[in-house]
């Protein structure tokens, strides 16, 4: 079972540095060089930034070559990564993680958990980012003989996987209260990290082994859609 995960926009300043590179480093370099040609005045619109982030993101790209690389799963600091808690893993679990989990990303394409990444800001809403990566991502998974992919990422990322070539299973977490059921973004992020940690801890190898219940959410399967539903107890 191959698992895809999503990056975050927040970074851990205490993360470990590494010399490990990402697998599509030359493609990333070419994207960075193209971004470096963008006028600073256009960064706010191009990257959909608030005023206080323009200088930071401009520096990310114009100092990209000299910036340190950080271990990806230690560096990302969003809700899913907090819930996962990478730093509590032993070496055996880190090996399983690195062998089975891949972050789908608009700048790096595919990131293994122990790959080194540099600070950046980019997502798949930017023009051309999907067209640059879609074939490369699918060809990569085909080349390693992947058949079953479990997506612990939002549709923005799972949409890049060609469903005619892989059995793609997408996981969502749904909260029900007073007969109203909906996907709550922050809970989905947290629970994706929690479920990934369970998968790593239990060394699971296929979708069929996913837990029936986790943190009060009960698994419901509809084809290749896996919904974990939590109902309000009255």
Which phi and psi (to 5°) does residue 212 adopt? Answer: -70, -30
Alpha carbons within 13 angstroms on the beta-carbon side of residue 137 total 28
- pTM exceeds 0.85 for this model: yes
Which tokens go with 11? Answer: 């970074």
Dihedrals phi, psi of 213, to nearest 5 degrees: -140, 140
125 burial via Cβ count (<10 Å: 0-12, 13-18, 19+): exposed
pLDDT in tens, the chain (234 residues): 999 999 999 999 999 999 999 999 999 999 999 999 999 999 999 899 999 999 999 999 999 999 999 999 999 999 999 999 999 999 999 999 999 999 999 999 999 999 999 999 998 876 667 888 999 999 999 999 999 999 999 999 999 999 999 999 999 999 999 889 999 999 999 999 999 999 999 999 999 999 999 999 999 999 999 999 999 865
């Amino acid at each position: 079972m191959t698992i895809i995960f999503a990056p975050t926009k927040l970074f851990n300043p205490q993360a470990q540095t590494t010399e490990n590179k990402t697998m599509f480093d030359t493609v990333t370099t070419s994207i960075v060089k193209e971004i470096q040609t963008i006028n600073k005045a256009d960064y706010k619109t191009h990257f959909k930034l608030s005023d206080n982030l323009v200088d930071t993101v401009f520096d990310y790209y114009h100092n990209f070559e000299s910036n340190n690389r950080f271990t990806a799963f230690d560096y990302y600091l969003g809700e899913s990564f907090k819930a996962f808690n990478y730093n509590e893993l032993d070496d055996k679990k880190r090996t399983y993680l690195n062998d089975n989990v891949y972050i789908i990303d608009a700048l790096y394409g595919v990131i293994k958990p122990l790959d080194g990444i540099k600070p950046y800001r980019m997502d798949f809403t930017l023009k051309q980012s999907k067209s640059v990566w879609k074939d490369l991502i699918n060809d990569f998974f085909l080349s390693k003989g992947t058949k079953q992919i479990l997506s612990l990422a939002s549709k923005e990322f799972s949409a890049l996987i060609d469903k005619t070539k892989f059995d793609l299973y997408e996981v969502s977490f749904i909260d029900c209260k007073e007969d109203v059921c909906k996907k709550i973004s922050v809970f989905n992020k947290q629970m994706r990290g929690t479920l990934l940690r369970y998968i790593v801890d239990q060394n699971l190898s296929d979708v069929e082994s996913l837990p029936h219940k986790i943190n009060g959410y009960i698994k419901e399967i509809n084809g290749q859609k896996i919904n974990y539903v939590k109902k309000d107890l009255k």
